[in-house]
């Protein structure tokens, strides 16, 4: 069981907290590149409990800084993004993307002291359609960006989705670690005959209570649900947790599952879900092959967004939410689907938000199916405590290559193979050749 004290460490992300300090050692994906235009309007951005603004300057560089002007604390959200910097409209003080004061417009030149003034700014970087922010202490020499497979794909080949979730980052992330819920929450109404012949995901509904293996890794944890398959092999669904808040869940068959998902804490009670997936690989996934040519009711719907607003939590919010019970249809629940909620992501969202803003972990009764969750909590907690007590740099911060040759997904392997052998074979077959091709391009 996770104690109240451990839960406090795991869930609180503000500056000065053990988890907040750990998360600040990593680059975090924070926005789509398309959200910021050169000399366009500044965007409010909440990240790890801090109220920031993001903007793109005249030359295309990204600035991310505390929204308060260091002069009199007026919000730079109302500032003018012009001629290589953001200018506060209160007194005309101007700052570049690094926070350097360029101009003190209301101070006589012989009295200004702009060389002594800096806005609180963070390092920002762009790669393949994502804006990343580094909020740690190594601003002069930040660590490298992580080498996660899908984030290295060309931007034109990527599907990048953002969805805000109104709950703590840990419980949101743990939905990806809890892979056994697929057979209930998403596919509870499906039967083996729902699938076309040859679709290996028949095994999910043929046996809804898999066993698990889990192991600590240099990048986080690896876990696999396994069941005997109908052809005498072992049906595997491999997944990974990657520090600090990434998952590689088994959404599809292994050869097509070129994707990663981040669960970025906006504050203690709000999380930004970010999917980065190869579009063409997703289209080829044979796990979408069903007997009637259609996915089961409730699993194929594309999420719909509310109009965007400019407040701190106004980005990427869904039309279906807690106030309208996620548009649950009880008649559909009785007759066609397990939940009556339309959409796999929305089903996950409803359940994790129903746990409250922060789950009270002392109420839990974890089962053998929760071993990956328990082990991952231990891994995260140990890293945060080691940093707080010994100054130990968290896993993966300075070793981005640890992330490179990893993937989640499902496949059938020879029943005689050890899980490490089965996984290594698929990495050699599907991941290494693709990594070589991407590197060459």
Instruction: List pLDDT tens digits, range 82-113.
Output: 999 999 999 999 999 999 999 999 999 999 99
Question: Does residue 174 share a domain with residue 127?
Answer: no
- Structural domain harbouring 397: 149-440
Residues of the chain with pLDDT > 90, as a percent, come to: 87
What pLDDT shows up at residue 296? 83
Prior bond of 244 cis (ω within 30°): yes
Which residue among 85, 108, 134 closes a domain? 134
In-domain check, residue 15: no
In-domain check, residue 6: no
Is residue 6 predicted with pLDDT exceeding 50? yes
**Average pLDDT score over the chain:** 94
Question: Does residue 262 share a domain with residue 125?
Answer: no
In-domain check, residue 18: no
Question: Does residue 326 share a domain with residue 203?
Answer: yes
Q: How many CA atoms lie within 13 A of 365 on its CB side?
A: 0
Segment 399-410 mean pLDDT:
96
Question: Does residue 245 share a domain with residue 102?
Answer: no
Question: Does residue 375 share a domain with residue 335?
Answer: yes
CATH number, domain of 265, equals: 3.90.380.10
Binned at pLDDT 50, 70 and 90, residue 384 comes out as very high
In-domain check, residue 117: yes
Segment 201-218 mean pLDDT:
92
Question: Does residue 156 share a domain with residue 85?
Answer: no
Question: Does residue 319 share a domain with residue 232?
Answer: yes
Question: Does residue 259 share a domain with residue 127?
Answer: no
Binned at pLDDT 50, 70 and 90, residue 191 comes out as confident
Question: Does residue 323 share a domain with residue 189?
Answer: yes
Cα distances (Å, whole numbers) of residue 41 to 54, 68, 104, 241, 310: 9, 16, 21, 36, 10
Q: Choose between 139 and 192: higher pLDDT.
A: 139
What pLDDT shows up at residue 439? 83
- Which neighbouring-strand residues pair with 164? 272
Question: Does residue 158 share a domain with residue 99?
Answer: no
Which residue among 105, 134, 163 closes a domain? 134
Q: For the chain, give the secondary structure using H, E and C.
A: CCCHHHHHHHHCCCCCCHHHHHHCCCEEEEEEHHHCCECCCCEEEEECCEEEEEEECCCCCEEEEECECCCCCCEHHHCEEECCEEECCCCCCEECCCCEEEECCCCCHHHCCHHHCECCEEEEEEECCEEEEECCCCCCCCCCCCCCHHHHCCHHHEEEEEEEECCCHHHHHHHHHCHHHHHHHHCCCCCHHHECCCCCCHHHHHCCCCEEEEEEECCEEEEEEEEECCCCCEEEEEEEEECCCEEECCCCEHHHCCEEEEEEEEECCEEEEEEEEEHHHHHCCHHHCECCCCCCCCCCCCCCECCCCCCCCCCCCECCCHHHHHHCCHHHHHHCCCCCCCCHHHHHHHHHHHCCCCCCHHHCCCCHHHHHHHHHHHHHHHHHHHHHHHCCCCCCCCCHHHHCCCCCEEEEECCCCCHHHHHHHHHHHHHHHHHHHHHHC
Cα four-point dihedral sign 145, 410, 184, 208: negative
Q: Residue 156: CB partners within 8 Å, gap ≥ 6?
A: none
Please provide the size of the chain in residues.
Answer: 441
Question: Does residue 193 share a domain with residue 156?
Answer: yes
Q: For the whole model, what pTM was predicted? A: 0.95
Residues of the chain with pLDDT > 70, as a percent, come to: 98
Distance CA 274, CA 52 (A): 19
In-domain check, residue 139: no
Q: Residue 197: CB partners within 8 Å, gap ≥ 6?
A: none
In-domain check, residue 21: no
Distance CA 137, CA 122 (A): 10
Is residue 194 predicted with pLDDT exceeding 60? yes
User: Per the structure, how many domains does the chain have?
Assistant: 2
CATH number, domain of 104, equals: 2.102.10.10
Segment 424-437 mean pLDDT:
94
In-domain check, residue 198: yes
What pLDDT shows up at residue 287? 45
Distance CA 148, CA 50 (A): 26
Binned at pLDDT 50, 70 and 90, residue 283 comes out as low
Q: How many CA atoms lie within 13 A of 87 on its CB side?
A: 15
Distance CA 236, CA 227 (A): 7
Is residue 276 predicted with pLDDT exceeding 60? yes
What pLDDT shows up at residue 215? 97
Question: Does residue 115 share a domain with residue 252?
Answer: no
In-domain check, residue 49: yes
Which residue among 102, 134, 166 closes a domain? 134
Cα distances (Å, whole numbers) of residue 157 to 121, 129, 404, 405: 31, 10, 18, 19
Segment 263-269 mean pLDDT:
98
Is residue 286 predicted with pLDDT exceeding 80? no
What pLDDT shows up at residue 181? 93
Is residue 67 predicted with pLDDT exceeding 90? yes
- Write the pLDDT tens digit of every residue in 290-340: 777 777 888 877 899 999 999 999 999 999 999 999 999 999 999 999 999
């Amino acid at each position: 069981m996770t104690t109240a004290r451990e839960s406090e460490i795991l869930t609180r992300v503000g500056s000065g907290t053990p988890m907040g300090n750990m998360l600040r050692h990593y680059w975090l994906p924070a926005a789509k590149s398309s959200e910021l235009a050169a000399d366009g309007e500044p965007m409010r951005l909440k990240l790890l409990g801090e109220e920031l603004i993001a903007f793109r300057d005249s030359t295309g560089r990204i600035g991310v800084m505390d929204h308060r002007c260091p002069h009199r604390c007026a919000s730079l959200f109302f500032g003018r993004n012009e001629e290589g910097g953001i200018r506060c409209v209160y007194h005309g003080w101007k700052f570049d993307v690094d926070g350097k004061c360029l101009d003190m417009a209301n101070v006589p030149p012989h009295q200004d002291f702009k060389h002594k003034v800096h806005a609180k700014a963070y390092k920002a970087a762009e790669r393949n359609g994502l804006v990343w922010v580094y909020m740690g202490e190594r601003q002069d020499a930040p660590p490298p960006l992580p080498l996660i497979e899908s984030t290295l794909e060309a931007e034109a080949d990527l599907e990048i989705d953002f969805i805000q979730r109104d709950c703590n980052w840990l419980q949101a992330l743990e939905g990806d670690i809890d892979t056994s819920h697929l057979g209930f929450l998403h596919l509870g109404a499906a039967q083996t005959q729902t699938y076309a012949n040859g679709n290996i995901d028949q095994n999910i509904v043929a046996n809804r209570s898999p066993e698990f293996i889990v192991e600590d890794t240099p990048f986080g944890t690896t876990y696999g649900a396994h069941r005997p398959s109908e052809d005498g092999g072992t049906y595997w669904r491999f997944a990974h947790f990657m520090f600090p808040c990434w998952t590689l869940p088994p959404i599809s068959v292994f050869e097509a599952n070129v994707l990663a998902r981040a669960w970025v804490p906006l504050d203690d009670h709000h999380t930004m879900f970010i999917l980065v997936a190869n579009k063409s690989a997703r289209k080829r996934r044979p796990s979408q092959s069903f007997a009637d040519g259609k996915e089961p009711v409730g699993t194929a719907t594309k999420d719909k967004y509310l109009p965007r607003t400019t407040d701190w939590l106004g980005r990427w919010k869904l039309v279906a939410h807690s106030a309208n019970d996620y548009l649950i249809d009880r008649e559909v629940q009785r007759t066609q689907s397990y939940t009556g909620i339309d959409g796999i992501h929305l089903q996950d969202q409803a359940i994790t938000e129903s746990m409250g803003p922060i789950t009270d972990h002392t109420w839990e009764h974890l089962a053998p199916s929760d071993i990956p969750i328990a082990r991952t909590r231990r891994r995260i907690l140990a890293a945060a405590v080691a940093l707080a007590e010994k100054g130990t740099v968290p896993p993966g911060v300075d070793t981005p290559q640890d992330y490179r040759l990893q993937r989640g997904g499902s496949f059938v392997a020879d029943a005689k193979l050890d899980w490490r052998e089965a996984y290594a074979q698929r990495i050699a077959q599907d991941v290494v050749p693709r990594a070589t091709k991407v590197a060459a391009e």
